Structure 1
């Protein structure tokens, strides 16, 4: 059993420089002790996944351009998550708002090469399978 992820969960991107908190909109999803829990469709950039401070991925065009302008010295630029696919793998046995729920072991991929993982699920009482 794993712990369900909910609104306010702390996340970190492998190319980010600061953690961010997941935003889960209260639209027909399960409610953990006091806040909505996430399903795999909670991946919209900025609306669900806020920026992680600055980005250090050379796959990000703004980072690549700034690094080239600095003669090859890695120059982080402001993070704008580019998440276009759902959380993986989800929990297929726990349905949350007609979609699989997100547990603390799920990952979200950024198009700039980052892997977003959950540091703190935001609650510790609701378990999913």
Structure 2
């Protein structure tokens, strides 16, 4: 069974070099275990999804430029998440602020083809069907 994701959840990107923490603004006014509950719409770059340190995505223009400057040696560049779509899938039968709740099984895709996943949901006792 999936866990409800809340503010402070730990995330990782398949092309990022460091983990990051999900920021959930308390707009939905849904509190789970003392923290704001996340929905699938909590996917805004730099607002909800901060940087993952450095990016290794070979499709990222900054990485391409850094690699070219290093004469073809793969070179990471600063990560700036480029998410344009909500997390999928959410929990369709559990709503947070009118949108499906975010679970630890959800994935958010970055424009540069990185898959952002939840490592630690932040809630320990709250499960969603």
Fold shared by both chains (TM-score > 0.5): yes
1:20 matched to which residue of 2? 20
TM-superposed CA distance for 1:74, in Å, is 0.7
**Shift >6 Å, 4+ stretches:** none
SS in 2 for 1:44: coil
TM value normalised by structure 1: 0.97
Structure 1's unaligned 5+ residue stretches are none
Structure 2's unaligned 5+ residue stretches are none
Q: Spell out, residue by residue over 1:7-51, the C-alpha distance to the aligned partner (whole angstroms, 9 max, x if none).
A: 000000000000000000000242111110100100000000000
Greater Cα shift, 26-35 or 39-48: 26-35
The CA RMSD measured in Å over matched residues stands at: 0.7
- Count residues in correspondence: 129
Q: Spell out, residue by residue over 1:46-100, the C-alpha distance to the aligned partner (whole angstroms, 9 max, x if none).
A: 0000000000011110100110111110110110000010000111011111000
TM value normalised by structure 2: 0.97
